Amino acid sequence: MFKIKPFKNTIITFTVAGILFINPIIGQAELGDQVLKKGMRHDDVKILQQHLIDLNYLTIKETTTYYGDQTVNAVMEFQSSQGLDVDGTFGQASFKALQVLLELEPLVYNRTLKEGMEGEDVQALQERLKFLGFLDIDNCTTYFGSQTRQALVDFQKTYGLKVDGIAGAETIETLNNNKRKLKPSANRGSSRNSSLGENIVSTAKKYIGTPYSYGTSSSKSFDCSGFTHYIYKKHDISVPRSSADQAGVGSEVSKKDLQTGDLVIFSNTYKSGPSHAGIYIGNGNFIHASSAGGGVMISNLNSGYYSNHFTFGRRVF
């Protein structure tokens, strides 16, 4: 836990030649151990103000011990950006949110990250973009797909950087320097282009009847995840190759909330865990490369077999 001057008012005693000396040292209480509000004077206010300055919520020439209007407004802006109740009072909820920001590990720039790459640095990048409100996914992964690229594009546009969807030195530095969460916009996160979903389905239907072949992903034959990987790639959407990995991309969608073009995942078919994938085409139907059916075909999610094995949808664009 992040702590600042974790000592309270302390009485220090010592003796010299048998004489007892008492030296009162008035220390600062730990930030977060009391509610700070308008009108108060306390050393903790200075600490709070400095953090708000560092996070670009407060602009003042010099910190003070007084909790005035400027501090109230800065705290309100901070609370709003963190999705907290906005009252201008710095209580436990605000303190915990501040701790999270202060404890964020800086991203380390070792290489330029772009779509198609994999690594722990990709996951760290996703976690920062998700924290800032630019990436709407349930679980961050080590794979740099189209969603990560779009999140970077949105971030770069917001902060006036070169818009290329690539995490270079300047973008990483800007990510490290900006710890303010932004409210999701209508063009970010789970919002999607319905026409793109229709185009994906249109492309997928062109391959109806293409033979099933395990381990393949080409226009001549597919396995289930090879088919979804191939179709999404044609629309510049990167998903992993295996159905198990595809089950972790994008954001989770329930059956009732499925939309055209969503990835659908099935589990415990021929092996335990996520083991089959397809693309939702609307009206309860999905298109997939079926081993039992011998190739690419359309099936219904509510049929006995697929209803029993359906796990969730994934929104990947």
Cα–Cα distance for residue pair 146/247, rounded to 1 Å:
15
Q: Angle at Cα 62 formed by Cα 61 and Cα 64, nearest 5°? A: 140
Residue 118 neighbours by CB distance under 10 Å? 14
**Contact indicator for 213, 221 with CB cutoff of 8 Å:** yes
**Calpha distance 43→65 (Å, rounded):** 5
- Which residues share a beta bridge with 265? 277, 312
List 51, 140, 229, 288, catalytic entry = 288
DSSP state string for 225-292: HHHHHHHHHHTT----SSHHHHTTSSEEE-GGG--TT-EEEEESSSSSSEEEEEEEEETTEEEEEETT
Q: Is 276 noted as a catalytic residue in this protein?
A: yes
140 part of the active site: no
In this structure, what token pair is assigned to residue 231? 């179709």
Residue among 51, 140, 224, 229 flagged as catalytic:
224
Place of tokens 């209480």: 29
Q: How many CA atoms lie within 13 A of 285 on its CB side?
A: 10
Name the packing angle between helices 120-131 and 146-158 (round to 10°): 50
Q: At 300, which amino acid appears?
A: N
Are 263 and 248 in contact by the 8 Å Cβ rule? The answer is: no
Judge whether 224 counts as a catalytic residue.
yes
Query: Which residue is catalytic, options 51, 140, 229, 276?
Result: 276
**Three-state secondary structure call for residue 221:** coil
Distance between CA 51 and CA 5 in Å, rounded?
Answer: 14
Residue 215 has, within 13 A of its CA and on its CB side, a CA count of 0
CA–CA distance, 64 with 267 (Å, rounded to integer): 59
Catalytic site positions:
224, 276, 288
